[in-house]
Chain A
Amino acid sequence: MNLGTRRMDLKAILSGDRLALSRLLTQIEKDSEQGRQALNELFPHTGKAHLVGVTGAPGTGKSSLTNQLAKHYRNPPDGPARSVAVVAVDPSSPFSGGAVLGDRIRMQDLAGDPGVFIRSMATRGSLGGLATATAGLVQGLDAAGYEIILIETVGAGQAEVEVAKLAHTTIVVEAPGLGDDVQAIKAGILEIADILVLNKADRPGVEAAERALRGMLNLGHPIERVFNHHGRRAEIEVPHEESPTDKLWLPPLIRTVSTEGQGVPELAQAITEHRAFLETSGELQRRERARLESEVHDLLQKAMMNRWRQDTSDERYQRTLEQIAARKLSPRQAVAQLLNGSAPQ
């Protein structure tokens, strides 16, 4: 814990020592002083990896797809192999605080490859599909030199969209049979997709699912279309002034069968294209900035909460809670009182 050993550890992490990295990730997850210090010092080494979020409902095949993507990056048909880290998040029990983290089961193909590092983490009470420490873990892995970092969220419902703030490219995984076209136009998870994957494409219902998803994509991102309407050629024009096509990203829809690796090269290609789009359109800087801003926001929130906790006696807090329970104080009034240290108006 002295300065000397800590610096040595960081050096080890930067030079690829997996045990040192693993222990660092634990410290970051614990939000310990040591972990925070290390993150501060590693920060200049971050920002090199491409962060890919993989999200979708439970059982759509996120883990299998993550496994296939990692395998693809390790053995690309063209070009050099790239190192891959995976951060897989599963939920903590709201009752015991425990968790069963089972994403590794689908990632056994990656065992024994020194160019792959997989870390499972529990949400530890955090909502939104990721854990509070996920961003920190990703930074640690980024600093350690992993080129592609795949971030797999918990099985997400409709509103777990945190991953879009963290990742450069967000993949939303769907499967046939999960809902009709009204599900597809609801706000939430489908909106954050940079790439939509229709997994389990060998299952029945794939056509209907694709139609619903495509309908949603076309509504959200108007594109030029020409079609026949009652025998007359109709052209639909899209206003050009503000969105030249080279600055517009249309989320592609890719069919995959992740158990067999079908569609995975196409998916990897789409990720590469999205990266290129981010770089040429200036969107990368914008997202990077938004990401860092959201991180600062979260840290600030936590720090303020902690500071408030330190300044407020537990006794006073409990007393206020009792007043609320007795309906003498509304929750809003209680907050005003606790923050100002004064009686409600």
Chain B
Amino acid sequence: MGEEKIRVLVAKPGLDGHDRGAKVIARALRDDGMEVIYTGLRQTPEMIAEAALQEDVDAVGLSILSGAHMALVPRILELIRANGQDNVALFVGGIIPDDDVPKLLEMGVAGVHGPGSSTLKIAEDIRRVVRQAA
């Protein structure tokens, strides 16, 4: 019956307290027909990996504005993979300097979407990556 639901975890790791972006994304993905598990602020990498496991999500979206992405992202990726979730796609948004984008992609991040990205494009990107992984 119909298309399979894509489940996405939207989380904010680290200590910055600005979740407007994460909420905009959560809302946009909802309007695109996805099921978004929103976990809110100040998540540790362990909490995010655990939530991704329990919710059996297809993708994880991280919003990071603190500049700690080069420390947080690899740790989260490592934990998710260690849990056996090889198929989960990781997306990163927030304030990511251009120089770091290729490094993140090389680590295994599926996409980086900074400010000004179209939410429709982001949804499309997630859909494409998840479909490929399936």
Give the B-binding residues of A (Cβ under 8 A): 18-19, 22-23, 25-26, 30, 92-93, 95-102, 104-105, 108, 111-112, 117-120, 122, 124
Contact = CB atoms under 8 A, between A and B. Distances in A.
Interface in B27-43: 27, 29-40, 43
A119 B55 contact: yes
B117 interface: no
Given A22-B54, A119-B54, A112 B46 contact: yes
A179 to B, nearest CB: 29
- The interface residues of chain B, by DSSP majority, are classed as mixed
A112 B47 contact: yes
A92 to B, nearest CB: 8
Contacts, number: 77
A122 B35 CA distance: 7
Nearest to A107: B39
Contacts of B33: 96-98
Contact of B38 (A19, A100, A124): A100
A22 B49 CA distance: 13
Nearest to A17: B84
Contacts of A26: 7, 56
Interface string B41-73: 001101100110111100000000000000000
A181 B25 CA distance: 42
A96 B47 contact: no
Nearest to A32: B4
28 contacts: A19-B84, A22-B53, A22-B54, A22-B56, A25-B56, A96-B32, A96-B33, A97-B5, A97-B33, A98-B30, A98-B33, A98-B34, A98-B35, A99-B35, A99-B36, A100-B27, A100-B30, A100-B38, A101-B36, A102-B38, A102-B40, A104-B38, A105-B40, A108-B40, A108-B47, A111-B51, A112-B50, A122-B5
A97 B46 CA distance: 30
Contact of A104 (B31, B39, B83, B85): B39
A264 B19 CA distance: 31
A120 B55 contact: yes
A118 B26 CA distance: 19
A168 B65 CA distance: 45
> Most chain-A CB neighbours within 10 Å: which of B27, B34, B38, B54?
B54
Nearest to B31: A96
B54 to A, nearest CB: 6
Contacts of A112: 46-47, 50
Nearest to B23: A100
Contact of A100 (B36, B44, B53): B36
Contacts of A19: 53, 83-85
A25 B47 CA distance: 20
Contact of B56 (A23, A98, A102, A104): A23
Contacts of B83: 19
Interface string B82-115: 0111000000000000000000000000000000
Contacts of A98: 29-36
A302 to B, nearest CB: 11
Contacts of B50: 111-112
B26 A100 contact: yes
Contacts of B5: 97, 122, 124
A96 B54 contact: no
Contacts of A95: 31
A19 B81 CA distance: 12
Contacts of A108: 39-40, 43, 47
A111 B32 contact: no
